[in-house]
Amino acid sequence: MQFIRSLLGNSPLKFIAIAACAITLSGAARGEAWLVVEADSGRVLQADNATMPWYPASVTKIMTAYVVLKAVKEGRMSLEQTLTVSPVAASQAPSKMGFKPGTQVTVENALAMMMVKSANDMAVVLAEGAGGSVDGFSAMMNQTAQRLGMTQTTYVNPNGLPADGQVTSARDLAILARAVIRDLPEYEYFMHIPAIRFGRRTTANFNRLIGRYPGADGFKTGFICASGYNLVASATRGGKRLIAVVLGSSSGQARAVRAAQLLERGFGNTGLSWLRPSMGTVDSLAPIDATPPNLREEMCNGKRKRPATDEDDASLTVAASSSATGGEASMTFFTAGLQAPMPKASEVLLQDVPAGEPMLVYTGPKRTGAALIAAVATDSEKQAAKRGKRSRTAAQKPDGAAGSKASETRTAAKPDQKPAAKPDQKPAKPKVQQASAKPETAAPAKPADKPVSSAAKPAAKPAATAKPAATAKPAASPKPAATAKPKPETKPAG
């Protein structure tokens, strides 16, 4: 900063240059990692913690797609090839399609589901199809990473679910994005499908830049508690393509806003780039030997209104993204008069923009024409049947739980519901009800319901006139004992 002051002296550009440096350095203390590079040359336009090791989360799926599509391009696989959902794939945690083991899906449909919905089960289906197993495919991913120069990256699984040793960096992700653009131009459309439609359900791409930010054309979002919200994005404008990587944002909206800001600065072309020191190319960035930051406490500490997921609702995260918009005002001043005015990134990304024409995806082999329509209809019917079954199950749960699953009732029921569950247990619980709810329940009704049980003795005792007083006293002494004993049983219910 002092060097720039001495270099410019009292030049009118002095304040502008200082402002530019302040903007560049403003994110250093925020615990995020950023990187913007030119796609064709790899020249770094902005970098902040770019070589800090990071947990990749679902941006791992960019490498999964790259390895599979390279196999397709080299003839070792085909997009029409049918793969089968294995028990391992079906057991993956959400987000997923939720297909049963044995379901078949084409490579093309599996790729679309993985990249748009971030389906973890489809990532495993593709991995097993290309590498034989998750471990075999992970070895292929690591070999590819080393070949591309991703020296800070290690893969353990194809979907990015938490795993020891699964690490990357913003630098390596930018290298991977450049490889996709360079090596797979004919299959790059998988990186920017706006939405998919499966049966009756349409899912928009989790990357909120697609369809909203002008020229957005890639790549993938990701989230796990340890990594925060990640995004690898790209956009093309005026024949110039940029790649932006954002790691560790506080919400899905915040990461999209930050990426849009970084891309906008890169497209600014203010003519003042000579004021910035050269940062070289993305391959030349020096790796940092450190442990990846773990953001679990910040991301998943239970203070959120609902659990954090990659399916982040923008309407719930506007406040969270406000910290990411701080540089917009200064950037607007910095570029005033030098480029056409544009709405703030936060405003652009909050627009309710249609997701675009969804790509039809379906189960089973490759279909076209009438066969495709029939396949979509079949999947729709299966969805409707599944929803109907869930509705019937939900409707039957209260009746079944009251009569057949006493332990579940005790766990889920509120205190005022406990007496209703206790009559199921004949030996002790009638006594507890008599002791705790004498005014509310008729004494003769309970013995009448259970003539064979021990309740028959109290029923016989009131028959004598002299014995009721005698029986009342003994009855009073066992009742406190009966109320004392159930206390340990009722603790789990609370």
Residues serving a catalytic function are: 58, 61, 118
Q: Count of CB atoms within 10 A of residue 75's CB?
A: 7
Strand arrangement, sheet containing 359-361: 201-204, 195-198, 359-361
Cβ 218 vs Cβ 381: under 8 Å: no
What is the rounded distance in angstroms from the CA atom of residue 364 to the CA atom of residue 83?
A: 9
Q: In 74-196, which ranges are continuous DSSP H helix?
A: 87-90, 107-117, 120-131, 134-148, 170-183
Cβ 258 vs Cβ 249: under 8 Å: yes
Residues in the chain: 494
CA dihedral 361, 362, 364, 369 (to 10 degrees): -80
Nearest to 86 by CA among 45, 134, 18, 149: 134
What is the rounded distance in angstroms from the CA atom of residue 357 to the CA atom of residue 374?
A: 20
Contacts of 117 (CB under 8 A, 6+ apart): 95, 97, 196, 203, 206
Q: Count of CB atoms within 10 A of residue 311's CB?
A: 15
Q: Count of CB atoms within 10 A of residue 481's CB?
A: 10
Please report which helix (H) or strand (E) contains residue 202, including its range.
Answer: strand 201-204
What is the rounded distance in angstroms from the CA atom of residue 263 to the CA atom of residue 217?
A: 12
What is the rounded distance in angstroms from the CA atom of residue 118 to the CA atom of residue 57?
A: 10
Residue 26 DSSP class = T
> Rounded to whole angstroms, what are the CA distances from 216 to 187, 222, 340, 349?
16, 17, 18, 12
303 backbone dihedrals φ, ψ, rounded to 5°: -85, -10
What is the rounded distance in angstroms from the CA atom of residue 251 to the CA atom of residue 318?
A: 9
Locate tokens 């209104």: which residue? 305
Q: Are strands 195-198 and 359-361 parallel, antiparallel or unpaired?
A: parallel
Residue 390 DSSP class = H
At residue 106, what is the residue type? T
Please give the structure tokens belonging to residue 248.
């560790």
Cβ 328 vs Cβ 261: under 8 Å: yes
Nearest to 150 by CA among 208, 232, 93: 232
